[in-house]
Amino acid sequence: MIGSSSTDGDGTRNRTSIRFARILGTVTAFLHRLTRSRLVSWGAFGFGLLSMVLVFGYASDTMYGIEHGANLLAYWHISLAWVAAAALGSTFIGSALYLRYRGPFWSRLAHSSGELGFLFATLTLLLGSAWGRVIWNSWWEWTDVRLVTFLIVWFIYAGYLVVHSATENRTGDRYAAVYGVVGFVTVPLSYASTRLWTPTFHETTIGNSGVSANIDPLTLVVTLVAATFLYLYLLGIRIHLHELEQQVRRLHSARRR
Amino acid sequence: MEPLLLAGYTALFVAFFGYVTYLQRRMSRLERQLEDAQT
């Protein structure tokens, strides 16, 4: 009886894992097709153009009671920060799935998203610093918890890229995947930092009805969509590069034999 | 136009176009290597 119930349990577990593997296969194929589709490249171009029109022709340049043209940097600063978090989230998911299933697609997704997340985070810091010069009269504030935690995220993912490039292909992917899973802890921590600790300058925006930034929601949403399409477009190219590198490596090793 | 605004969006464009150009160049180099290895 005990033996048959444990066999039943194993069978159910196997069926569940086969079903999950099939779902993952479908997701992989969908992501692969989506990132290489024309919808994404034209979406990035169209929404990027629309965002520029709205930022420079429609949105108000008065924020926190200060009228200054550099306030318009806020739209891309905020959008890039959100998409950077999404990209680093993809690195976490890709790394976790690679450690579980060893599929090369997940490793490529994790590394490509990590590289893009790092680029987006760098631009977030640059634009934020320039915007901060206007509204806080300072390029950088060590007392602001969001700024400091975001800088930690930036260093963590700089380290991730170093680990990935400094290790060998197969084993390196595993090390980088472990790093990608563990390092992700800093991302939600940075986003929750304004709720966990008292912020000096950054205020909590989501779910805060008293937010005083005066940011136009339409311009912000269009810019966010543009940044997302841009991320997907770059992700498609980066993953394709990984595939080409793999093909070249395979051909070279076959020749050596 | 405010110099900070100009500098910020210029940095954004330069970073994205620079990155895309870098990726495209690497891609064409790899495609060439692949063709050479196949022939």
| Structural domains in chain A, sorted by start | 36-256 (1.20.120)
Please answer yes or no on whether B19 and A119 come within 8 Å at the CB atom: yes
- Residues of A contacting chain B (CB within 8 angstroms): 68-70, 72-73, 76, 119, 122-123, 126-127, 130-131, 133-134, 230, 234, 237-238, 240-241, 244-245, 247-248, 251-252, 255
Q: Which of B1, B4, B24 to mutate to test the interface with A (most CBs of A within 10 A)?
A: B4
**Pair of tokens at residue A224:** 């966010």
Note whether B6 and A127 are within 8 A (CB): no
Closest-CA distance, B11 to chain A, in angstroms, reads 8
Q: Which of A115, A243, A247 to mutate to test the interface with B (most CBs of B within 10 A)?
A: A247
* A156-165 confidence digits (pLDDT tens): 999 999 998 8
What ipTM was estimated for this complex?
Answer: 0.91
- With 80 as the cut, is the pLDDT of residue A240 above it? yes
Please answer yes or no on whether A70 and B8 come within 8 Å at the CB atom: yes
**CA–centroid distance for A132 within its chain:** 23
Q: What average pLDDT does chain A have? A: 86
pLDDT band at A117, cuts 50/70/90? very high
Please answer yes or no on whether B2 and A68 come within 8 Å at the CB atom: yes
pLDDT of residue A207: 59
Q: Which residue among B4, B27, B31 sits closest to A130, beta carbon to beta carbon? A: B4
The helix or strand, by DSSP H or E, that contains position B4, with its residue range, turns out to be helix B3-38
pLDDT of residue A1: 47
Give A134: exposed, middle or buried? Use CB within 10 Å, 0-12, 13-18, 19+.
buried
Other CB atoms within a 10 A radius of the CB of residue A206 amount to 8
* Alpha-carbon span A89 to A117, nearest angstrom: 9
pLDDT of residue A203: 66
* Alpha-carbon span A107 to A113, nearest angstrom: 10
* Alpha-carbon span B23 to B28, nearest angstrom: 9
Please answer yes or no on whether B4 and A73 come within 8 Å at the CB atom: yes
Say which amino acid occupies A10. D
- With 90 as the cut, is the pLDDT of residue B12 above it? yes
* A31-44 confidence digits (pLDDT tens): 878 877 889 989 99
In A, which residues are within 8 Å of B1 by CB distance?
69
Closest residue in chain A to residue B4, using alpha carbons only: A70
pTM of the model: 0.87
* % of chain A beyond a pLDDT of 70: 89
Helix H segments across chain A? Answer: 2-35, 38-57, 74-101, 104-135, 145-166, 169-183, 186-196, 217-256
